[in-house]
């Protein structure tokens, strides 16, 4: 399951998204994030898949918290990671 509707054209200016401690259950692999994102907190959910390498291309990303989920695979290197 991929949340293709999570980010759309209107979310380009989205800078902070905190959705921690919910019961979100989706595959993070392939999710495209807004380029203006600075803070993303998906911690304490049931998110699976892997962290997309595209996350390293977000220039102003300051916080990226996906702890306490069901992620697998390597953590992308480069950018702000």
Dihedral sign, Cα of residue 29, residue 52, residue 77, residue 24: negative
Whole-number pLDDT of residue 78: 86
Alpha carbon separation from 70 to 13, 44, 47 (Å, rounded): 28, 10, 5
Q: What is the mean pLDDT of residues 32-39?
A: 90
> What is the per-residue pLDDT across 2-22, written as a single tens digit (0 to 9) for each?
665 666 666 678 899 999 999
Whole-number pLDDT of residue 8: 63
Whole-number pLDDT of residue 32: 86
> What is the per-residue pLDDT across 43-60, written as a single tens digit (0 to 9) for each?
999 999 999 999 999 999
Q: What is the mean pLDDT of residues 61-65?
A: 96
In the block, which residue shows the tokens 């979310």?
11
Supply angle C-alpha 16, 22, 23, rounded to 5: 135
């Amino acid at each position: 399951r991929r949340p293709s509707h999570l980010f759309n054209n209107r979310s380009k200016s989205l800078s902070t998204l905190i959705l921690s401690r919910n019961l979100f259950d989706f595959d993070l692999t392939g999710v495209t994030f807004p380029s203006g994102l600075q803070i993303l907190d998906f911690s304490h959910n049931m998110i699976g898949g892997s962290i997309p390498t595209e996350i390293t291309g977000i220039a102003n990303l300051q916080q990226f918290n996906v702890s306490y989920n069901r992620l697998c695979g390597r953590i992308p290197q480069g950018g702000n990671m």
